Chains A and B, each alone.
Chain A
Amino acid sequence: MQSRLLRRAYKIVGLTLFSLAFLVPIILGLINQEPWEQTAFRRQVANSIMLFGLLLFMLSREKVEDEFVDFCRLRAFRTALIAGVIYFLQDAFGTLGGNLVDSSFGVLIMQIAVYVVMFYVLKAGLFNGK
């Protein structure tokens, strides 16, 4: 079975993009001491690069691609999807006053984080996923 995935090297590219997009705004913020409103656009660009980096990371091949890796991937996707819906509902209706989710970035980054953690936990056999 051939999965249509990116080459393994994209894992490093994705992680590098994520790390840079995460760290650079923090460092720039510390150096320039700019108010949040002035850095909002920069933050949005950094968030997009972070998401893109994580997407590259999760869509790149593992060292050995076999049916067990596919199984782990599907389980991790399912868990991430459910976690995303729960997060959205909790955020939209959980707080007093029904505060609607205003950041799709928050939901997406949480889903990808859950996916990545779940995938490697399943792959390492730390959790049987049943």
Chain B
Amino acid sequence: MVNKLKHYREQHGFTQEQLATAVGVSRQSIISIEKGQYVPTTLLALKLASALKVTVENIFQLEKMDWK
């Protein structure tokens, strides 16, 4: 899965800490999502998209290998 969280966060001028506070999680959660170590739930994905004023599909995109 392609994950553009870091790109949109930086575009918005958010630090990891600020984004974490905005969506109510720890900074470590944001780090793990950005590294691709953790895939967030739909609820958190929607919160992230809302905080960054983009759609969930902008941040997370499926790849061909995800269908296998």
Contact = CB atoms under 8 A, between A and B. Distances in A.
A8 B25 CA distance: 17
B38 A71 contact: yes
A64 B25 contact: yes
B26 A68 contact: yes
B16 interface: no
Q: Secondary structure at chain A's binding surface: helix, strand, loop or mixed?
A: loop
Contact of B26 (A64, A128, A129): A64
Contact of A128 (B24, B28, B37, B44): B37
Contact of A67 (B25, B35, B37): B25
B44 A67 contact: yes
A76 to B, nearest CB: 14
Interface of A: 62-64, 66-69, 71, 123-125, 128-129
